[in-house]
Amino acid sequence: MNVQSHAVLGRLSWLLITAVCSLTLFAPARAAPLSAADEKSVREVVEGQLEALARDDADKAFSYAAPNVRQAVGTASGFLAMVRDGYPVVYRPASVAFLKPEGQGDQVIQRAHMLDAAGNSWLAIYSLQRQISKAWRITGCVVVKNKGRIV
């Protein structure tokens, strides 16, 4: 991975941490919980991006990214390279199991348990934000080794 890729990953990680903090600490108490339709839409966005990555469809995978990610990465091909080099289990998971998304209002966290080709267990934590268009877009993703815990 080159220096530029590390810088982009660092920026994206910081954006995700900020989103998670905002979601958990500053979410309005009166915001409505996610509807069943929103839960389904959130999962479909992450699934859509994973399917696009599996086909190496950089443009489609990049289309699920929120403006903050698109600006940080710059191009669809750069996005595909970043995921391939920095998030190999997201690029080619052997299996994916989605947990129930959590959030309120326009901010959501979607966790997904993933196994890589070697059978290692990972937890991918996606942050998503509802855009002005009402579509959900991915604002960041952090992947952590699951270390044998059940998620």
**All structural domains of the chain with their residue ranges:** 3-26+33-145
Q: Grade residue 20 by pLDDT with cuts at 50, 70 and 90.
A: very low
Question: 107 burial class (0-12, 13-18, 19+ CB within 10 angstroms)?
Answer: buried
Average pLDDT, the chain: 84
Instruction: Tell me the CATH number for domain 3-26+33-145.
Output: 3.10.450.50
Average pLDDT over residues 55-75: 96
Q: Whole-model pTM?
A: 0.78
Q: Grade residue 34 by pLDDT with cuts at 50, 70 and 90.
A: confident
Q: Grade residue 70 by pLDDT with cuts at 50, 70 and 90.
A: very high
CA pair distance 151, 25, nearest whole angstrom: 23
Residue 58 pLDDT more than 90?
yes
What type of residue is 121?
S
Residue whose pair of structure tokens reads 């595909």 in the numeric block: 80
Q: What tokens were used for 21? A: 């903090």
